[in-house]
Structure 1
């Protein structure tokens, strides 16, 4: 979030086809995606600490992995919905009324 990739690349950053439409969608995706990654990382950290403190019937590692996968998918969905609210399908910014 503080040092996002400045140019569109295929190596690192929040890379989805819609986020890579143009530089404006890329910049917005990096800023919002970085924020959501921090939020989901904090939530995952709390869940990890809680799963070690609470006895569970399932394996702690499997529960953490499941939460990580669900959180990642949820984060991508939330980020894509945010981008679709700001930009048209062709990548141009929607006009505000």
Structure 2
């Protein structure tokens, strides 16, 4: 059940973040990592990217949550779902940061395309 709640929250918040991203860098709302907050360009890209990845994470977590309910394991389902949640969150952040670093230099300036 943990995964289903997280699924709904992630899809909803991801959609809001993608559709209505915060316009200015802030410390309250949005995809906030040190690299994403370097400048306005990195901020704008990270909000869209973070919203998309959060919606994908929500869908995957929902599928895994339904699977954990349908196929009960001999171990605690809550722990398995929590493991899915934590692993997915870490993977989501890593993928977003790799994407940002492909688009921007360390100082936040856009990379030159060859």
1:43-92 CA-partner distances (Å, limit 9, x unpaired): 00010011000020111111111110000000010000000000000000
**Aligned counterparts of 1:24 and 1:18: Cα–Cα separation in 2:** 11
Match of 2:76 among 39, 48, 59: 59
TM-score (norm 1): 0.98
Question: Which residue does 1:90 correspond to in 2?
Answer: 107
Question: Which residue does 1:37 correspond to in 2?
Answer: 54
Question: Which residue does 1:21 correspond to in 2?
Answer: 38
**Structure 2 unpaired stretches of 5+:** 1-17
TM-score (norm 2): 0.83
**Structure 1 unpaired stretches of 5+:** none
Work out the number of aligned pairs and report it.
97
**Aligned counterparts of 1:18 and 1:38: Cα–Cα separation in 2:** 21
More helix by share: 2
Runs of 4+ in structure 1 displaced over 2 angstroms?
A: none
Question: Which residue does 1:5 correspond to in 2?
Answer: 22
* RMSD of equivalent CA atoms: 0.6
